[in-house]
Amino acid sequence: MKRKYKIIIPIIILAGLFFSFQKYNQPDPEKDKILIGLIRYALKQGHYEPHQIDDEFSKNVFNDFIDALDPYKRFFLQSDIDEFSVYKSYIDDQIKNEDLSFYNMVYTRFNQRVSETKTYYEEILKIPFDFEKEGTFSVDYDNKPFAKSQVDLIKNWQLQLKISTLSRLQEKIELQEAFAEKEESETKTPETFAELEKEARESTKKSLDDLYSLMDDLDDTDWFSVFINTLTLQFDPHTNYFAPKDKKRFDISMAGKLEGIGARLQKREDYTRVAELISGGPAWRAGELEVGDLIIKVAQGDEPSVDIVGMRLDDAIEYIKGKKGTEVKLTIKKIDGSIVVYSIIRDIVELEETFAKSSVVEVDDRTFGVINLPKFYIDFNEKNFRNSATDMEQEIARLKKENIEGLLIDLRNNGGGSLKTAIEIAGLFIKDGPIVQVKYRGEKPNVRSDKDKKIQWDGPLVILVNELSASASEIFAAAMQDYNRAVIIGSKQSFGKGTVQNVLPLNNYFKYSKDLGALKMTIQKFYRINGGSTQLKGVESDIAMPDRYTYLDIGERDEKNPLAWDKIKPANYSPVDIYENFHGAVNDSKKRIAANPQFMLIDKNARWIKKGRDNNDINLNYDAYKADLEKRIAESKEFDAISDYKNNLVFNSPTYEIPMMEKDSVLAKKREIWHKNLSKDIYVEEALTVLSELKISKNLLVKN
């Protein structure tokens, strides 16, 4: 289901059209047929849970491909859909026969409809809009019908252009009012409503001109990739095809060279979404951009903004990335529906900041350690390169010298990484035993174990997670939970990605003169040692704390066609019994959270966000639209206390790091920012309170 806000900036809706604009270049039928055959064979032979390619599969591909090309139903007519429908139950047969008739028909018609629409917006935008007229527009596109005629299609365009212009008009009025308040002595005559409305229409037109020009460069390779990915999407959300140029970008990203703002971005419907902030990067240091934010416009310094909604992800990234020291201004749509502009100075993101780091903190005159682990990193090509397991072992050793009484490991926003290091890190907290079960299709599970009997930390352990803790993070947290070794605290559950992918260069399997790209395919599934999969369910926290994502679907369960949760036989393991008051500490924390006004406010904010996202109607009358915006802004003021919160804890670097910071001002600044963030973090505060209450029994880690 597409989730929208009531107070949605209509530029987003309009820009969403242009996901699909391109120049119709001559297809390469031979290469396309080879790709279809290779993809079908690879998925059938290698996918963990191969999908039956039948009539039901055909119907889903039919719907998904049309939706990928025209998600807002602004190009195709109902008569087009009726004509395409002759193939609705036969796409499976065409795939098996390497027949591209359905693709060719839809793609050709799509180009025709796109060309026809180029004349619409120029004519519509020549005439002022009547913003006194009452009316609303629904952005519930899932339930919108396709236009029955060209007249209906043009009417739909008129509404889209009107709401796009309305949002720009409101922005211009707000800027003029803000300028007037700050520059009262200036004698500049304010522009009239009519003048600002004209400028808003011109701005809308320029945005469309730019996007048509940009999308005109796409060719059949790009759009055939869209078609192939509607096939792979039926198997699971992590199986997808990389065209040759996309494969090159993927290889660069995997090499770990991170430049620009320090954020990993992903495509979510037609939006560019912040999927991860790189620890220590420019966006992370600025402290404003958040995971889940949608980037809707990009400006280079003081240059005009470019709408990027609807752009392909790699094209959007081209606007966002840039040379070190240059400024980029991002217009962001927050998850609460508000629109803000963030200025970020680009930089080279140092790999150092993806490494584990530690801090010490006093709680009731007792010392505790905090380790932040941004990812489970390893480099298989360099023997002496750092990895997360050896770094964690070293950080624990350093914290033990600080005489800590308990350890908090922060895995929030840790998207995973190396399974090998996750197993080794788990082994730092138990004597030995199984950590995870990994299973190929049709084979018995392979139990991966810690065989090193050394225990690096045998004291109280709390692990902090959130909805974005995924994959290897979930393996580690699940193992600690299954062994009763740690209290898991955080969001209701972690992300829920319990699958493993492998990238297959297709030219390795078929000798061809042209580059065929690659297929990223799900080949394995993770299972906990208790037998349950981490897929979909993730790791459920022993102590759940409300956050702004509580009522939103943000994990694997929100993806399309995720693999199902299931269970296999448990591994042979024995939980440890080291805490005298595990359940007591957990229950006390739950009571504190339930009675805490700050957590109550966070929960109220989460419900407010959910309510706003579920409302699909936008007012087309200016006064009503403005009133809705002002009401939303006024309501949001109640939640300012969430970001203003301070926990009054003081965090410091461990002793070993102090001389390093004295010599390295950049490192010192990074630690200052991290410690400041920790001192405002209610989740860390509660986790440390739980940690301080845990009591170790005399029979420490008696056996596994």
Please identify every residue annotated as catalytic: 471, 482, 497
Helix (H, G, I), strand (E, B) or coil at 351: helix
Residues 6+ apart with CB under 8 A from 482: 528, 529, 530, 573, 575
The strands making up 407-410's β-sheet, listed across from edge to edge, are 543-544, 487-490, 461-465, 407-410, 366-372, 357-363, 651-652
522 phi/psi in degrees, rounded to 5: -75, 120
3-state secondary structure of 282: helix
Residue (of 405, 523, 525, 385) closest to 458 by Cα position: 405
> What distances in angstroms separate CA 537 from CA 50, 327, 419, 540, 565, one per listed residue?
21, 40, 19, 7, 7
Residue 560 class from Cβ within 10 Å (0-12 exposed, 13-18 middle, 19+ buried)? exposed
* DSSP track, 525-576: EEE-TTSBB-TTT--B-SEE---TTTTS--SGGGSSSPPPP-B-PPPS----
Cα separation, 546 vs 530, in Å, equals 27
Q: What is the DSSP letter of 637?
A: G
**At 137, is the secondary structure helix, strand, or coil?**
strand
On the CB side of 637, CA atoms within 13 Å amount to 6
Q: How many CB atoms lie within 10 A of CB 527?
A: 25
Q: Residue 69 region, left (φ>0) first, then alpha (ψ -120 to 50), else beta?
A: alpha
Rounded Cα distance, 221 and 558, in Å:
29
Rounded-to-integer distance, Cα 688 and Cα 361, Å: 9
The rounded distance, in Å, linking the Cα atoms of 612 and 217 is: 37
Q: What's 500's DSSP letter?
A: E
Closest residue by Cα to residue 296 from 315, 309, 311, 313:
309
Amino acid at 93: D
Supply 594's token pair.
């339930």
